[in-house]
Structure 1
Amino acid sequence: METVIAVVALLFVLFVALGVYATVKAVGAAKRGVDRTLTQARRTVEDTTLRARTFALPGPAGELAQLRLKLRTSLRATQETLEAGAVEDASLKESLGLFERLSGHGRQLDDELRRLEGDPDRGGLARRLPELRERTERITKSADSLRWAAHERARRFTEDDLSTLSGQIDIEAGALRHWTTEPGAGPGTAPGPGPAAASAGDPASKASASRAEASGAERPVRPAVAPPSGPRIAYPWEKKPRPETTT
């Protein structure tokens, strides 16, 4: 009896522990989802504000907003491209490491540009603009170079795989149409003399007919294509069947 009670108590503790673990995981996932939503919303608001400042503020203040918007857009697009590509291409992990270093320079420049937006000395700001413009150009150019290299790498892999697949399909299609390469199988071609008639002629014809008979006997018979087992998968390019009517 004591053993049964101990087992029941142990099972109860395990169920409670699993429930607590599942609750913690669910709360953590919900918190991460909320954090991502808030971050995305904050980015959208900041980008919209910067875009409005580029048109509303004349002079150095408007150009500062334009530099910040250009910097943030380039770095964000490069980060998304590299992170998505690194899931399937391990070579991009080294590129991600380089991007993290570049991103540090980008954050430093973005902070500096944000502080300068409230600087009342417009004359000093105008004198610093060429240097700020040059730093922004260097960072965005490096980020764009990484992003486009990743795009070209992914496209090259896709093209190579498609070329290999097309070649394999051509070979398979030729094997399926094996009858088109047999002599006398073309349209409008009259059937030639059979092996018996050929054997009645010269020895060369007889030998050729014997080889043809042997080749035909060795040709493997392709089995019938069996339908796939399990539930059928509907692909996006397939049309949905029309519902049957009772009339």
Structure 2
Amino acid sequence: MEAVIAVVALLFVLLLVLGAYATVKVVGAAKRGVDRTISQARRTVEDHTLRAKSFAQPGPAGEVAQLRLKLRTSMRSTQDALQAGAAEDASLGESVALFQRLSAHGHELDAELRRLESDPDRATLAARLPSLRERTERITASADALRWAARDRAQRFAADDLDTLHAQIDVEADALRHWTTSDTAGAPPAWPAADPGTEDRARSEESAPRPATEPARPAITPPTPRPTYSWQKKPRPESTI
């Protein structure tokens, strides 16, 4: 009896532990979903704010907003492309590692541009714009190169798979039309072509003179009296003159 009670108590404890674990997992997943939604909403709002600043603020401040928007758009697009490709192509692991190193430089530049947006010293900001523009171009060019290389690789794999599939479909289509091959194989053999010498000999035999003992046939059958019919007119007397 005590053993049964101990087993029941152990099962009860296991159920409690499993229930607590499942609850923690569900709460964690929900929290991650909420955090992801908040982050996406925050990024969307910040992107719209930067776009508005790039049009509304002339001069260095507006250009800084344009640089931030360009940097964030390029880095986010490359990140999404590499993450999607790495899930199906393990060879993109090195590209993902390189992008992580590039992201460190991108985040550093984005933080610097954010601080300069509210800097009241417009002259100093204008003097630093060329170097900021160059850094932005270098980072976005590298990110774009990784993104387009990953996309080209995926398109190449898709094209190769389509070529292989097309060849397999052609083989299957020929196999389904097996009666065309069997009909050709079961057809009777063609008659051999006639020997030209045989035709010449046949013509010479037809043109050769017949033996003298064979009686000559008349060329034209002698005319027989033509019958007269009641509807035929009799010749007139003057026609006999």
TM-score (norm 1): 0.74
2:73 corresponds in structure 1 to 73
2:114 corresponds in structure 1 to 114
State how far apart, in whole Å, the 1-side matches of 2:187 and 2:28 are: 79
Q: Does 1:48 align with 2:66?
A: no
Give the deviation of 1:99 after TM superposition.
0.2
In structure 1, runs of 5+ residues without a counterpart are 186-190, 203-247
1:45-104 CA-to-partner distances (Å, cap 9, x unmatched) read: 100100100111001100000000000000000001001110111111110000001000
| SS of structure 2 residue aligned to 1:123 | helix
State how far apart, in whole Å, the 2-side matches of 1:192 and 1:95 are: 61
The letter of the residue matching 1:164 is T
Give the deviation of 1:193 after TM superposition.
4.5
- Which stretch of the first structure deviates more once superposed, 117-126 or 157-166? 117-126
1:16 corresponds in structure 2 to 16
The letter of the residue matching 1:42 is R
1:57 corresponds in structure 2 to 57
1:157-179 CA-to-partner distances (Å, cap 9, x unmatched) read: 01001100100110110111122
1:206 corresponds in structure 2 to none
* Pairing 1:112-151 to 2, within 5 Å after superposition: 112-151=112-151
State how far apart, in whole Å, the 2-side matches of 1:184 and 1:92 are: 52
* Pairing 1:1-247 to 2, within 5 Å after superposition: 1-182=1-182, 193=188
Give the deviation of 1:180 after TM superposition.
2.1
State how far apart, in whole Å, the 1-side matches of 2:187 and 2:29 are: 76
Give the deviation of 1:119 after TM superposition.
1.1
State how far apart, in whole Å, the 2-side matches of 1:99 and 1:192 are: 67
Give the deviation of 1:192 after TM superposition.
5.7
| SS of structure 1 residue aligned to 2:90 | coil
The letter of the residue matching 2:159 is E
TM-score (norm 2): 0.76
1:196-239 CA-to-partner distances (Å, cap 9, x unmatched) read: xx9xx99xxxxxxxxxxxxxxxxxxxxxxxxxxxxxxxxxxxxx
- In the alignment of these two chains, the number of paired residues is 192
| SS of structure 2 residue aligned to 1:91 | helix
The letter of the residue matching 1:175 is A
State how far apart, in whole Å, the 1-side matches of 2:53 and 2:116 are: 14
Instruction: Indicate the percent of aligned positions where both proteins have the same amino acid.
Output: 73
Give the deviation of 1:181 after TM superposition.
3.1
State how far apart, in whole Å, the 1-side matches of 2:184 and 2:132 are: 79
The letter of the residue matching 2:121 is D
State how far apart, in whole Å, the 2-side matches of 1:23 and 1:124 are: 55
| Structure 1 pair 68–11 and aligned structure 2 pair: CA distance change class (3 A) | same
State how far apart, in whole Å, the 1-side matches of 2:71 and 2:187 are: 77
State how far apart, in whole Å, the 2-side matches of 1:193 and 1:31 are: 79
1:117-151 CA-to-partner distances (Å, cap 9, x unmatched) read: 11111111111111111110000000000000000
1:244 corresponds in structure 2 to none
Task: Please identify the structure whose Cα radius of gyration is greater.
Answer: 2
Q: RMSD of the alignment, in Å?
A: 1.9
| Structure 1 pair 56–2 and aligned structure 2 pair: CA distance change class (3 A) | same
